[in-house]
């Protein structure tokens, strides 16, 4: 079976059997994945953290952008998706764990400050306190000025930016099911 067909089949199986682990009606499409990856500077030093890689479509776009698989650490809650991403990208570090508890999930995987974080987590499906915690935990690991890239199917951002954090809408992807918006959070420079 072709890679894309196998990924869609795995996604549909997860949607049918583990709907709480899946936050969408379809896997992220290649246009959305490329728009998210485009927000990451491939030349910036440091690792890239990917939260909720699912079937790996954004992982693939990050690698196509020029980010070496060895720089990518992906945190996936669903064990079958984690195994799929590890098979597809054996050079990446794939951790089956909870993105809402990064201290515990990443405790055995120390890493340098992050060049970027890219999230496909369905943040709007979670309470605001958990969304804020993810944002805080990611920013504690990012290099100053590095982006935290998140998409949402809603018109507005998944979380308003806290004080000291800038937010911009980077893209609207109409060719995704459903259409999505790419948001980029970053720390404001201190004056």
Q: Show the low-confidence residues of the chain (pLDDT under 50).
A: 1-2, 14, 21
Q: Which CATH number belongs to the domain containing residue 11 in this structure?
A: 3.40.50.150
- In which residue are the tokens 């690698």 written? 63
Q: State the greatest distance between any 2 C-alpha atoms of the chain, in Å, as a whole number.
A: 55
Q: Give the whole-angstrom CA distance, residue 140 versus residue 150.
A: 16
User: What are 23-35's pLDDT values in tens digits?
Assistant: 555 567 999 999 9
Residue 15 pairs in a beta bridge with none
> Whole domain around residue 94: which residue ranges?
3-187
Predicted confidence at residue 2, as pLDDT, reads 45
Predicted confidence at residue 188, as pLDDT, reads 79
Predicted confidence at residue 177, as pLDDT, reads 87
Q: Give the whole-angstrom CA distance, residue 18 versus residue 20.
A: 6
Q: Give the whole-angstrom CA distance, residue 167 versus residue 87.
A: 34
Predicted confidence at residue 1, as pLDDT, reads 42
Q: Give the whole-angstrom CA distance, residue 147 versus residue 20.
A: 28
- In which residue are the tokens 């979380």 written? 159
Q: DSSP state, 28?
A: P
- The answer to whether residues 132 and 158 touch, using CB atoms and an 8 Å cutoff, is no
Domains in the chain: how many in total?
A: 1
- The full 3-state SS of 64-105, as one line of letters, equals HCCCCHHHEEEEECCHHHHHHHHHHCCCCEEEECCHHHHHHH
Residue 93 pairs in a beta bridge with 73
Q: Give the whole-angstrom CA distance, residue 46 versus residue 65.
A: 15
Predicted confidence at residue 73, as pLDDT, reads 99
- The answer to whether residues 134 and 157 touch, using CB atoms and an 8 Å cutoff, is no
Cis peptide bond N-terminal to 178, omega within 30: yes
């Amino acid at each position: 079976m072709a890679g894309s067909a196998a990924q869609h089949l795995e996604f549909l199986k997860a949607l049918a059997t583990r709907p709480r682990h899946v936050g969408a009606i379809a896997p992220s499409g290649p246009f959305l994945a490329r728009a998210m990856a485009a927000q990451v500077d491939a030349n910036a030093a440091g690792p890239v953290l990917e939260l909720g890689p699912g079937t790996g479509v954004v992982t693939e776009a990050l690698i196509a952008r020029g980010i070496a698989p060895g720089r990518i650490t992906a945190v996936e809650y669903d064990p079958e998706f984690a195994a799929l991403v590890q098979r597809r990208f054996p050079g990446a570090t794939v951790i089956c764990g909870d993105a809402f508890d990064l201290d515990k999930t990443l405790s055995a995987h120390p890493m340098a400050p992050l060049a970027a974080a890219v999230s496909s987590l369905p943040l709007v499906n979670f309470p605001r306190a958990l969304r804020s915690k993810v944002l805080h935990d990611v920013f504690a690991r990012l290099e100053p000025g590095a982006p935290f890239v998140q998409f949402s199917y809603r018109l507005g951002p998944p979380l308003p930016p806290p004080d000291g954090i800038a937010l911009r809408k980077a893209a609207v992807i109409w060719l995704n099911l459903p259409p999505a918006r790419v948001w980029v959070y970053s720390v404001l420079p201190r004056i």
